Chains A and B, each alone.
Chain A
Amino acid sequence: MTATAEKTDSTSEVGAVPTFTVTLRILRHDPEGLDGREAGAEYWEEFTVEAFATDRVLDALHTIKWEQDGSLAFRRSCAHGVCGSDAMRINAKNRLACKTLLKDLNPSRPITVEPIKGLPVEKDLIVDMEPFFASYREIMPFLMTTGPTPERERLQSPEERARFDDTTKCIMCAACTTACPVFWTDGQYFGPQAIVGAHRFIFDSRDEGEWDRLEVLNDKAGVWKCRTAFNCTEACPRGIEVTKAISEVKKALTSGEV
């Protein structure tokens, strides 16, 4: 509903937000086989919507779902780039629909929207995220310590904090993992996000489980599968230097030092 409210507000207040017509070409997947389709049918469908220059791809998807075809399925929650629900392949690249402005995509041509690649599609733009979350669980993404719990908080210097600051920003959208050519062809690979998640704890001075995690990542499904294609870094909507994090984990494994 925010999107509609925004629209009326911005038109009345600013008055001059330009509008344009844009076509979205969506790769749909129909698990049930409605309207005479086979169950599991995949097909491209085009929708044309009127959009404001301030609209994002998510706004266009909302317009389609609310005004043209209620059966279109996609995930979203926050609509502001923090929950990580709406990673999708927009014009052949992974991005968050809620952070991608239509006007930045050359709206004179149809904009293609597809589900992220490498995870099983459930319906339209919704994929089964379970394999992705399972890899995240493998690296034990929680604080591991020994000894008695201190009475006050565990202190850390700004320098110690800076070592893993970048990887704390992850919102688990899977844009990185499903942009990875190794992940597409090798379902065993943990994928970049699990390594980012591990990095966040491995380089945290308060955590003592670094070698447990490094051991998991030293596995053949782990960090050595990375071929430095940089698709993850380029796809990350949080601007995390994903390949750099992976590289730091590789270095910790080869040097034996964290």
Chain B
Amino acid sequence: MSPAPTLYRGREGMWMWLVHRTTGVAIFFFLLIHVLDTSLVRVSPEAYNEVIGAYKTPIYGLIEAGLVAAIVLHAFNGLRIIAVDRWTWALRHQRMLVWVVWGIFVVMMAAFLPRHLGHVFGGA
């Protein structure tokens, strides 16, 4: 029975490492499932239609929103990591760049979510 140690108080870089890995793994599993269900079309077009039809339900609509969020975060933070690896300026300003990534994320999601959720729940 050992008591819980404290959570290391890292800053933006540490949290973005966690975000990058979480989103990377999440995207990977989503793609894996998607490749599997798409390949169903070769096996049985009826089963394929049924599975793909499930994507039209609101639950999948929300999962899709999460997937888009994960990809946007992962992609722009990925660009930040590339910049940090490449330029000393970016390396020294990486914390500020984290907030640039979140800024882009917020703007892109603000543009995407109303349209997407309108489709999902508006029954278009």
Is B53 part of the contact surface with A, judged by Cβ < 8 Å? Answer: no
Q: Please, which residues of chain A bring their CB within 8 A of the CB of B7?
A: 92
Which single member of B2, B9, B13, B84 contacts A93 (CB below 8 Å)? B9
Of chain A, the residue at the smallest CB distance from B14 is A229
Is A20 part of the contact surface with B, judged by Cβ < 8 Å? Answer: no
A250, B82: Cα distance in complex, Å? 12
B85 touches A247 (CB 8 A): yes
Is A117 part of the contact surface with B, judged by Cβ < 8 Å? Answer: yes
A117 touches B13 (CB 8 A): no
Of chain A, the residue at the smallest CB distance from B98 is A230
Is B38 part of the contact surface with A, judged by Cβ < 8 Å? Answer: no
A244 touches B9 (CB 8 A): no
Chain B: interface residue count, which band?
20 to 34
Cβ distance A4 to chain B, nearest Cβ, rounded Å: 30
Q: Please, which residues of chain B bring their CB within 8 A of the CB of A218?
A: none
Most buried by B among A43, A112, A229, A250: A229
Q: Please, which residues of chain A bring their CB within 8 A of the CB of B85?
A: 228, 247, 250
Which single member of B2, B3, B13 contacts A230 (CB below 8 Å)? B13
Given contacts A181-B14, A247-B85, A250-B85, contact A230 B5 (CB under 8 A): no
Is A42 part of the contact surface with B, judged by Cβ < 8 Å? Answer: yes
Q: Please, which residues of chain B bring their CB within 8 A of the CB of A205?
A: none
A84, B8: Cα distance in complex, Å? 20
Of chain B, the residue at the smallest CB distance from A233 is B13
**Chain A 137-162 interface mask (CB, 8 Å, partner B; 1/0):** 00000000000000000000000000
Is B44 part of the contact surface with A, judged by Cβ < 8 Å? Answer: no
A residues 94-118 in Cβ contact with B at 8 Å: 112, 114, 117
Q: Please, which residues of chain B bring their CB within 8 A of the CB of A243?
A: 84, 91
Cβ distance A136 to chain B, nearest Cβ, rounded Å: 22
Cβ distance A5 to chain B, nearest Cβ, rounded Å: 33
Is A177 part of the contact surface with B, judged by Cβ < 8 Å? Answer: no
A231 touches B14 (CB 8 A): yes
B5 touches A27 (CB 8 A): yes
A229 touches B17 (CB 8 A): yes
B8 touches A231 (CB 8 A): yes
User: Other than the known A230-B11, A231-B11, what 10 A-B pairs have Cβ atoms closer than 8 Å?
Assistant: A91-B6, A92-B8, A93-B8, A117-B8, A181-B8, A227-B20, A228-B84, A230-B12, A234-B10, A250-B85
Which 7 A/B pairs are nearest by Cβ-Cβ distance? A230-B13, A92-B9, A42-B2, A92-B6, A229-B17, A229-B14, A229-B13
Query: What would be 21 A-B contacts, judged by CB atoms less than 8 Å apart?
Result: A41-B2, A42-B3, A112-B6, A114-B6, A117-B8, A181-B8, A181-B10, A181-B14, A181-B18, A228-B13, A228-B17, A228-B94, A229-B10, A229-B17, A230-B10, A231-B10, A231-B11, A243-B84, A244-B91, A247-B84, A247-B91
Chain B interfacial positions (CB closer than 8 Å to A):
2-3, 5-14, 16-18, 20-21, 81, 84-85, 88, 91-92, 94-95
